[in-house]
């Protein structure tokens, strides 16, 4: 685990399962509104999970068994590190969704290692909830067109703007499960 490289990816079977099964199914069953509704439920679950945890425990790194959708490198996060990662990614996804919605290309390559947490500060939960509320408002006010312009996810396929909005929910779901595993490893 200590030698795992950031951005190295998921095990092949898991990556292929997501790429060839989950993503195509999500394109059929998830739209703008139900992805947002499910994301709000995930954020509420995260809020409920962490509300009673002492501040110093939010910053304690815990090594967990790898959960589905989490690469090996991310197995020893604190809760705040998981929240920082979600904050970084959600902010980036707003930019990607907005840009694709305008049918503009994004030339910069998206790299997993660029969205890894580095701060683990005591206010990551506040930043996370502020970012999520900003995202909720962004999507609620979005025209909800489906872009022809796409941007590739580094591990999966080309996503249009709606795919990225759906992936925001899926990504948060995965990291909520990571947070639950971290909580199990805390002794409080």
Dihedral-angle region of residue 69 (phi above 0 means left; psi in -120 to 50 means alpha; beta otherwise): left
pLDDT tier at 3 (50, 70, 90 boundaries)? low
pLDDT score for 116: 93
Which residues does 49 contact at the CB level (< 8 Å), separation at least 6? 176, 179, 180, 183
**Single pTM value for the model:** 0.94
pLDDT above 70 coverage of the chain, percent? 98
Q: Would you say domain 12-185 falls under CATH 1.20.120.450?
A: yes
Q: Tokens 């925001």 — which residue? A: 168
Mean pLDDT in residue range 108-126 = 91
| pLDDT higher than threshold 90 for residue 171 | yes
Q: Is the dihedral of CA 64, 22, 48, 125 positive or negative?
A: positive
Dihedral-angle region of residue 10 (phi above 0 means left; psi in -120 to 50 means alpha; beta otherwise): beta
């Amino acid at each position: 685990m200590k030698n795992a490289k950031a951005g190295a990816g998921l095990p092949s079977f898991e990556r292929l399962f997501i790429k060839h099964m989950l993503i195509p199914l999500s394109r059929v069953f998830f739209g703008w509104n139900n992805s947002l509704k499910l994301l709000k439920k995930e954020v509420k679950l995260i809020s409920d999970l962490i509300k009673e945890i002492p501040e110093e425990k939010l910053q304690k790194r815990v090594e967990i068994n790898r959960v589905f959708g989490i690469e090996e490198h991310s197995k020893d996060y604190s809760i705040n590190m998981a929240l920082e990662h979600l904050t970084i990614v959600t902010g980036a996804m707003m930019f990607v969704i907005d840009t694709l919605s305008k049918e503009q290309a994004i030339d910069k390559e998206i790299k997993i290692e660029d969205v890894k947490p580095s701060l683990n500060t005591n206010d990551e939960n506040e930043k996370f909830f502020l970012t999520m509320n900003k995202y909720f408002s962004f999507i609620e006010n979005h025209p909800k067109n489906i872009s022809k312009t796409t941007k590739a996810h580094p591990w999966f396929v080309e996503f249009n703007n709606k795919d990225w909005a759906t992936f925001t929910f899926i990504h948060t779901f995965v990291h909520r499960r990571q947070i639950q595993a971290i909580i199990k490893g805390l002794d409080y």
